[in-house]
A = this chain, B = another copy of it.
Amino acid sequence: MLGGSAVHFSLAASFFTDVRVVGPVGEDFTATELAVLEDRGVITEDIERVSGEQTFFWKGHYEYDLNTAHTDETQLNVFGDFDPKLSEASSAADVLFLANIQPDLQRRVRAQCGGAGFTALDSMNLWIETARDSLWQAISEVDCVLINDAEIRQLTDQPNLARAARAVMEAGPKAVIAKQGEYGAALFTPAGFFALPGFPLEDVRDPTGAGDSFAGGFLGYLDGEDGPIDELALRRAMGFGTVLASFNVEEFGTERVARLTRDEIDSRMEALRSMTDFGSART
């Protein structure tokens, strides 16, 4: 079914700002798939259709508690020799998310968005193992890294998460987000630490895309807000990321987020706030 980092990210971010998605698809990506994005107002003019090829494909399964994913099959397909060429409008983006893909490809997109005010990337164990130097180079060129907590340990050879996050910041980024599945996400910045639990749900159907929906809520909010991207904005953005991820996992693929409303988002954001509130100071 329809999925993929760019799709989950774009849908989540579309509730907060204008989203331009860049990437290649194959002939199997039909008007039906395109409509899911366009119905949410996502601008798809930088989606490159490659004839005679198939779209990137991933198949996996989860352990019984849905916390750990195992990859059964990955087909790069159209990503095998994709050479990104951004439209003028996409190049002018102020906030840029480099979804999880080969880090040299991420760098080529980054280079075409020279004026971006806030840039972030995601990655995974595959690239840590096969393109480590490129990945560190890509990391040094962005403001924020979002990555699973086990992978941040793997990337830095550092079992302690706080030290691992610091090692990433020493390479350039001023914010590191450790994604922790159902446990939520932690934000490390030079100024401090912030963490949110995953939003508790009794019905979790499909965790696929949760991390990208998180990134979409997080960066979408930052782009949509007028104010500066300071510590408080980053924390609020973490909240919206958490909320979008929670809706994503309630149903399969893009089903839930495709029919989500901003009111539902704001209502769950308030619920999340009350779930993390322990009153004013009293000891």
The chain A residues found within 8 Å of chain B, CB to CB, are 64-66, 150, 153, 159-163, 166, 180, 182-184, 186, 188, 192-197, 200-204, 232, 235-236, 238-239, 266, 269-270, 273-279, 281-283
Name the 4 nearest CB pairs between A and B, nearest first.
Answer: A195-B197, A183-B183, A235-B278, A65-B159
Residue of B nearest to A276 (CB): B276
Cα A194 to Cα B270 with chains together (Å): 13
Residue of B nearest to A153 (CB): B65
Chain B residues with CB below 8 A from A153, complex form: 65
Contacts A194-B275, A196-B278, A197-B197 given; 19 further ones with Cβ under 8 A? A64-B159, A65-B160, A160-B201, A160-B202, A161-B182, A162-B202, A180-B183, A183-B183, A183-B184, A184-B197, A194-B278, A195-B200, A235-B278, A235-B279, A236-B278, A236-B279, A269-B283, A270-B281, A276-B276
Interface of A is mostly: mixed
Chain B residues with CB below 8 A from A183, complex form: 180, 183-184
Residue of B nearest to A283 (CB): B266
Chain B residues with CB below 8 A from A203, complex form: 160
Chain B residues with CB below 8 A from A232, complex form: 278-279
Chain B residues with CB below 8 A from A236, complex form: 278-279, 282
A225 CB to nearest B CB, Å: 9
Chain B residues with CB below 8 A from A281, complex form: 270, 273
Chain B residues with CB below 8 A from A195, complex form: 184, 197, 200, 275-276
